[in-house]
Each structure stands twice: as structure tokens, then as C-alpha cells.
């Protein structure tokens, strides 16, 4: 099984987290992909997707995730059998829109039949925790529970 850290970003934070996750997961190979360059037709059911996505504006998708989302939504590709884990970045100070960028992707993946595994990871920008540290801990838990156990 290959692991793909697929990120959507506006300002680069999700990219940084995805890269740091890939660097920290030493027992598995992780390929990092930018949603702005990733064709949904290339989604492979043999891969596990660690999706890292920020929010922008009023809980919108970041610009880097919009083309991927729009293409996948338009194609209505059947994602039955696909597995993914979701990590959202946002700011809890925006109560109604916190981490909504990732929520848009999560709802689309689920509607198309993909199965989310593990705990929904989140980072709160108004807190004091480093986003990469939170993301790495989240990814390590996903790998330990869903990859190492099945290897």
C-alpha cells in the first residue's frame, strides 16, 4: 500500500504540514501531492490518502484545493473502496466556519463512496500547538492503527 499526503492550501501551511508528516513517517513511504496539480482521475484505490486541507475566507476551500474538488465533484467518480484520513486546519475563533475547507472535501469523498479511517484530525490556529506536531501525531496514530496493523 502506498501512502499519499494530499494537501490543499492557500498560504502554504497545509503544504508544510504534509511535508513534515511525510518526513516524520519513517517506517512507510509517503508521497506528497499538491491538490492543485493532482488529477482526481489519478486517485488509486490501492493508496491510502492522508488529506491535509486548510480553510479560507468564510470556511471555503483554499485556492489550491478548488480545482481538484470541482473536477472530482463534476466527474462524480465512484470512490467505493478508497480509504482516506482527514486533517483540517482552521481557527476556532471563527466558530461557524472552523476547519470547513476540509469538511467540504470530507463530505464529497463520503458522498462518492470513500471511507474515512481514523480520527478526524484538526489544528486550531488560535491555539499554541505547532500545526506540524499536531499533524504528525495524527498521522502516526492513523498509520499505527490502520497500516501497521494490516501489514
Q: Is the pLDDT of residue 151 over 80?
A: no
Mean of pLDDT values over 116-145: 93
Mean of pLDDT values over 127-142: 95
Give the integer Cα–Cα distance in Å for 95 and 59. Answer: 10
Per-residue pLDDT, 130: 93
Per-residue pLDDT, 91: 80
Per-residue pLDDT, 59: 83
- Tell me the per-residue pLDDT of 87-117, one tens digit each, with 9 for 90 and over: 999 887 777 878 889 999 999 999 999 999 9
How many Å separate Cα 145 from the centre of its chain?
A: 17
- Residue 22: which pLDDT band, with cuts at 50, 70 and 90? very high
Strand partners, 89: 123
- Residue 57: which pLDDT band, with cuts at 50, 70 and 90? confident
* Beta-carbon contacts of residue 133 (< 8 Å; ≥ 6 apart): none
Contact 59, 100 (CB under 8 A): yes
In this prediction the pTM is 0.93
CATH number of 3-150: 3.40.50.360
* Beta-carbon contacts of residue 11 (< 8 Å; ≥ 6 apart): 54, 62
Amino acid at each position: 500500500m502506498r501512502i499519499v499526503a494530499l494537501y490543499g492550501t492557500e498560504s502554504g501551511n497545509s503544504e508544510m504540514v504534509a511535508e513534515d508528516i511525510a518526513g516524520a513517517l519513517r517506517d512507510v513511504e509517503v508521497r506528497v501531492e499538491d491538490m492543485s496539480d493532482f488529477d482526481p482521475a489519478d486517485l488509486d484505490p490501492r493508496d491510502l490518502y492522508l488529506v491535509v486541507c486548510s480553510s479560507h475566507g468564510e470556511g471555503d476551500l483554499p485556492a489550491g484545493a478548488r480545482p481538484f474538488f470541482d473536477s472530482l465533484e463534476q466527474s462524480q467518480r465512484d470512490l467505493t473502496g478508497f480509504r482516506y484520513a482527514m486533517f483540517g486546519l482552521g481557527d476556532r475563533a471563527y466558530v461557524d466556519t472552523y476547519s470547513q475547507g476540509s469538511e467540504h472535501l470530507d463530505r464529497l469523498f463520503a458522498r462518492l463512496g470513500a471511507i474515512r479511517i481514523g480520527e478526524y484530525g484538526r489544528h486550531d490556529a488560535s491555539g499554541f500547538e505547532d500545526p506540524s506536531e499536531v499533524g504528525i501525531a495524527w498521522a502516526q496514530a492513523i498509520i499505527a492503527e490502520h497500516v501497521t496493523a494490516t501489514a
